[in-house]
Amino acid sequence: MQALRATDANQPRFALDEIMLGLVLVLSACGAVMMGSASMDFAAEKFGNAFYHLIRHGIYLAMGLVVMAITVRIPLTLWNRAGPALLAAGILLLLLVLVPGIGRKINGATRWIGFSFFNVQPSELAKLCFVIYLAGYIQRRQREIAGTLGGMLKPIGLLCLAAAFLLAEPDFGATVVIGGTVVGMLFVAGARLFPFGVLLGLVGSGVAALAVFSPYRLKRLVTFLDPWQDQFASGYQLVQALIAFGRGQVTGVGLGNSVQKLFYLPEAHTDFVFAIIAEELGLIGGVFFIGLFSALVGRILWIGRAAAARQQIFAAYICLGIALVIAGQVFINIGVNAGLLPTKGLTLPFLSYGGSSLLILFAMMGLVLRVEYELRTGNSGSAPPWLGWRVRNA
């Protein structure tokens, strides 16, 4: 396809993949509109400014675009070499968030390192760190992963260490996303089926044990199966989300006309923003956003497939890992909103309010754009121009 063909230096052409960049910008713009709609009444009541969250979200988007512009200019070879150091830093941050006085507790969970004007969520950074490290590990040890059990143990051991810190916060949703991403990347890398199956069985048993022996997780699971049994306590949030879906029907009640966001549905601008989308834009709006996410994930996988065809293993697995992270978060978040999965505190990419999530997402998009750029130009040392446009030679 044209996006991956070398371009004539005399032809003015966009320096980055137009389809990929267009999907990111459309999702970001639509996400800002829907997050703003979901947050205005809550912000007006709590902060006295209806645009409080929208302004901050806009600042995060601007910062994210800067992060993406910087990320896309860094050669993949540097990311590959930095993989182990990045993962070590990510796991260290997961540990630091548990240290009293450093970690910040919000809604009963200690998941943030707080600064005066900004909260950093280490679990978001850990997702990117694991993808970069594991892509490099697979490039170096692909035969070992496919041929021996030992090739799987090192990344699984690191995953278990990170999972222990995440569950101590607790952040079960991020644990599932990171664990699913690591397991998916190892599977595609050719991990042997029998030990891989045993590993999946152990992981599944561990997840089941955590759910059964943790009272609040078991309560969430039971509530998910029948939220109407306790609709004014543990099932309240899911019941209100389902009411939003029911009110939206096919065409929705209209942008800005949601009733559930008027203090009925908690976290309407973060974890449950898709329920507000379903209420205001209906089935049509929900399918539209699912289509955008599907197109984005498909484009990332297409670029990764092109990298694999050229034996660019690190680049291919970077794309695979990022696609798994985004697809996993979208699937879990929408599943939770629709009552198909137990309630988990997991943001919807590009749509939910949250600075750490947005910045890491834009860094991921910058990495994928860098992969496409190096594939198309065949030059791993150069960088696309800051403004994105190639100029015609004099």
Distances (CA, A) of 319 to 63, 290, 346, 373: 22, 20, 21, 13
Residue 89 lies inside a defined structural domain of this protein? yes
Phi/psi at 113 (nearest 5 deg)? Answer: -105, 115
CB contact burial 225-236 (16+ within 10 A = b; e otherwise): eebeeebeebbb
Q: Which residue has the tokens 């065949």?
A: 378
Q: Where are the beta strands (DSSP E) in the chain?
A: 103-106, 109-114, 119-120
Q: What was the pLDDT predicted at 217?
A: 63
d(CA 331, CA 348): 9
What pLDDT does 385 receive?
64
Sign for the CA dihedral angle at 305, 308, 309, 312 comes to positive
Does residue 308 lie in a domain region?
yes
Q: Are 136 and 145 in contact (CB under 8 A)?
A: no
- Length of the chain, in residues: 394
Pair 92, 125: CB distance under 8 Å: no
Report CA-CA distances (Å) from 85 to 88, 90, 91, 156, 256.
5, 9, 10, 17, 45
Q: Tell me, what's the pLDDT at 322?
A: 97
If we measure between CA atoms, which residue out of 263, 181, 337 comes closest to residue 347? 337
Q: Is residue 387 part of a domain?
A: no
Q: Does 60 map to a domain?
A: yes
Q: Which residues of the chain are under the pLDDT cut of 50?
A: 1-3, 5-12, 387-394
76 inside domain: yes
Looking at residue 379, what is its pLDDT? 74
Domain presence at residue 393: no
Q: What is the pLDDT of residue 394?
A: 29
Q: Is residue 17 part of a domain?
A: yes
Is 215 buried (19+), middle (13-18) or exposed (0-12) by CB count in 10 A? exposed
Determine, yes or no, domain membership for 267: yes
Structure tokens at 271: 């974890």
**Are 304 and 316 contacting, i.e. CB atoms less than 8 angstroms apart?**
yes
- β-strand pairing of 103-106 with 119-120: unpaired
Beta-bridge partner residues of 106: 109
**What is the number of domains present in the chain?**
1
Tokens standing for 8? 């004539």
Query: What does the pLDDT read at residue 274?
Result: 95
**DSSP, residue by residue, 339-361:** TSS-----PPTTTS--HHHHHHH
pLDDT for residue 393: 34
Would you state the pLDDT for residue 211?
A: 64
Cα–Cα distance measured from residue 299 to residue 364, given in angstroms and rounded to the nearest whole number: 13
Structure confidence by residue, pLDDT tens digits, 310-357: 999 999 999 999 999 999 999 999 999 998 888 777 889 999 998 889
Q: Which domain holds residue 277?
A: 12-377
Write down the pTM of the prediction: 0.90
H or E element: which one contains 289? helix 273-309
